[in-house]
Each structure stands twice: as structure tokens, then as C-alpha cells.
Amino acid sequence: MIIALGLTFNNIYGQNIDSTKQTINNRTDSAKLMQLNDNTDTSDDFSPGMAFFALVGFCLILISIGAGIVITITVLFMLFGFVSVGIISASVFVGLKKKSLTKGFKTFLVLSVSIIGSIIGFVALFLINKLFHFHLTGPTILIMGSLSGLIGGIILGLVAFAVFLRLINYFKDKLQLV
């Protein structure tokens, strides 16, 4: 289609005098005649057929981009759902195995915060790399950012669980005193 569109930009001139009907004595150069008798208007090269094909091609490109966006969003939502179900099922399994609701909640909190921390670590290192021009490659940013975010997320999850337990004990004591 690009070649067909490119053909619309070429000016094509035909021979304006039939050379088969010319006599031998009266030979003229058709290229010179074309230069002398250039009455064609080359400023309007609009071709409706080529414009239609370009419009159809442009529409196909837009439809393909839209389909790609929809497929990507669907896959990301499915991935998010699978990870969420995995975290919840692992937390329930740990809680049932240890026979403790607290252990199950601790597992849920640490897993959730560590995955969120891994994503935040990757994005943060990517932005730091862009801002300060560290010249790190994509895989290096992914590995370093995700691992540092994962470690920070695990630590933050354990700290948040300890704070949550203290808050629960504090409110439990306050409610019993009243």
C-alpha cells in the first residue's frame, strides 16, 4: 500500500505526438515539445482512490491499536486476579495449617505488601535512572528494583503486622476497661 501511495506523487508525462505518424523529415523531440507545451496543472494531484486506500489503512491501524490495548488491559486484569487469588489462598492455607487467624493475616499482609513493594521498587528505580542518568539497562532496573522493593516490602509488612497487633491489643484493653 505504501508503494501505491508513493506512485501518486510521481508526475508521469506521456508522449503528446504520435511518433508512428511522423515523417522522417519532420522528426521532433517529444521531450522538447512537452517542455514547450507544458499545459498540465501539477498542483492538484489529488487521487480519490489512493485517499480511500489510505483512509482504510489508517482505520485498520487504529482498530489494531485499540484491540492491542484491550487485550493488554484484559491480560493485566487477569494477572492481577491470579496474584490476588494466590495471595488469599496462601494466607487461608497458612491460617488453617497453623490453626491461627493471626498467622493467616500475617501471611496475607506480608505477601501483599511485598508484591506492592516490588512493583514500587521497580518503578522508583526506573524513575531514578531517568532523572539521574545512571545508564542502567532494562533487565538491571527490573532485577534491582524488584528485589530491593521485595526486601523493603517484607520488612514493611512485618513492621505493619507488629503495629497492627499492638493496636489490636491496645483497643482490646481499652474496651475491657470501660
Residues 175 and 105 reside in one and the same domain: yes
Residues 84 and 1 reside in one and the same domain: yes
Task: Name the domain boundary from 73, 99, 125.
Answer: 99
The CA distance from 15 to 21, in Å, is: 13
- The reply to whether 87 falls in a domain is yes
Residues 132 and 175 reside in one and the same domain: yes
Domain that holds residue 156: 100-178
Are 58 and 82 in contact by the 8 Å Cβ rule? The answer is: no
Residues 141 and 56 reside in one and the same domain: no
pLDDT number for residue 113: 92
Residues 134 and 176 reside in one and the same domain: yes
Tell me the average confidence (pLDDT) per consecutive run of 10 residues in the chain, 178 residues long: 59 60 55 54 72 93 96 93 88 89 90 92 92 89 92 93 91 78
Residues 111 and 80 reside in one and the same domain: no
Per-residue b/e over 150-161, b at no fewer than 16 CB within 10 Å?
bebbbebbeebb
Angle at 158 between CA 152 and CA 161, to 5 degrees: 135
Task: Name the domain boundary from 79, 99, 119.
Answer: 99
As for how many domains the chain has, the answer is 2
pLDDT number for residue 122: 93
Residues 51 and 137 reside in one and the same domain: no
Task: Name the domain boundary from 99, 121, 146.
Answer: 99
Residues 122 and 54 reside in one and the same domain: no
pLDDT number for residue 10: 58
